[in-house]
Amino acid sequence: MSEQTDEVAVPAANLQVDPIRVLVVDDHALFRRGLQMVLEQEPDIEVVGEASDGSEAVETAANTLPDIVLMDVRMPKRGGIDACTAIHDAVPSAKIIMLTISDEEADLYDAIKAGAMGYLLKEISIEEVASAIRAVHGGQSLISPSMASKLLTEFAAMVKKTDDRQQVPTPRLTDREMEVLKLVAKGLNNRDIAKQLFISENTVKNHIRNILEKLQLHSRMEAGVYAVREKLLEIT
């Protein structure tokens, strides 16, 4: 007579992920409200606060600790680019996306220098804003296509200007760090870099952290600017 064993069902692990915490900053109340209403329909996004200018944004960010800050560039009292730097100091983990009508190259470059991870024009759809939030939260950098072409043009000009300036010795990166930096400049995310170099995503993150520390940079996007300026990436 064979023994019968009862199988015990094991409940599936709770895989619920915390929603992405978003702070919306814009001096137009109707725009803030409309964006908030739409984003709140996304199950993986939570709007934790809003602000009408850069000064209020810094204070609200310190109180709410957002994962993502959606911020206009030009606002009264304190602009978004200046606030970007202050928010990085107050909440280093926050990633900032500039969402603006400004298609001025100077605003784009200043935003990158201030540590912004994205620069999107308000002409994009609300659905694209939600996707951008997820992408930047996942470690990617995003620029509106029309601004990206301007950025590449400026990169080329920066490379030419470099030839006329006295060169300052740059910190030495390892061969692997150089490989990672080139792939970052090409727009690859951590997962794709890991696959291409046959290393883990955590190793990629460590390399990027070391690169930013050595070069005294604030973001992946700024590292991309550096890679082009130092002629590590061919511009076509």
Q: What is the pLDDT of residues 121-145, one digit of tens each?
A: 888 887 789 999 999 998 888 887 7
Tell which wins on pLDDT, 63 or 220. Answer: 63
Given this model, what pLDDT does residue 152 score? 60
pLDDT band at 225 (very low <50, low <70, confident <90, very high): confident
Of 76-80, 131-135, 162-166, 218-222, the one with minimum mean pLDDT is: 162-166
The residues near 205 (Cβ < 8 Å, ≥ 6 apart) are: 190
- Mean per-residue pLDDT of the chain: 82
User: Taking residues 166-178, what's their average pLDDT?
Assistant: 72
Residue 209 scores a pLDDT above 60 = yes
The three state secondary structure string of the chain is: CCCCCCCCCCCCCCCCCCCEEEEEECCCHHHHHHHHHHHCCCCCEEEEEEECCHHHHHHHHHHHCCCEEEECCCCCCCCHHHHHHHHHHHCCCCEEEEEECCCCHHHHHHHHHCCCCEEEECCCCHHHHHHHHHHHHCCCCEECHHHHHHHHHHHHHHHHHHHHCCCCCCCCCCHHHHHHHHHHHCCCCHHHHHHHHCCCHHHHHHHHHHHHHHHCCCCHHHHHHHHHHCCCCCCC
**Domains of the chain: residue spans and CATH:** 20-144 (3.40.50.2300), 166-229 (1.10.10.10)
Q: Tens digits of per-residue pLDDT, 138-170?
A: 888 888 777 776 666 665 565 555 555 445 445
Residue 12 scores a pLDDT above 60 = no
Query: What is the pTM assigned to this prediction?
Result: 0.64
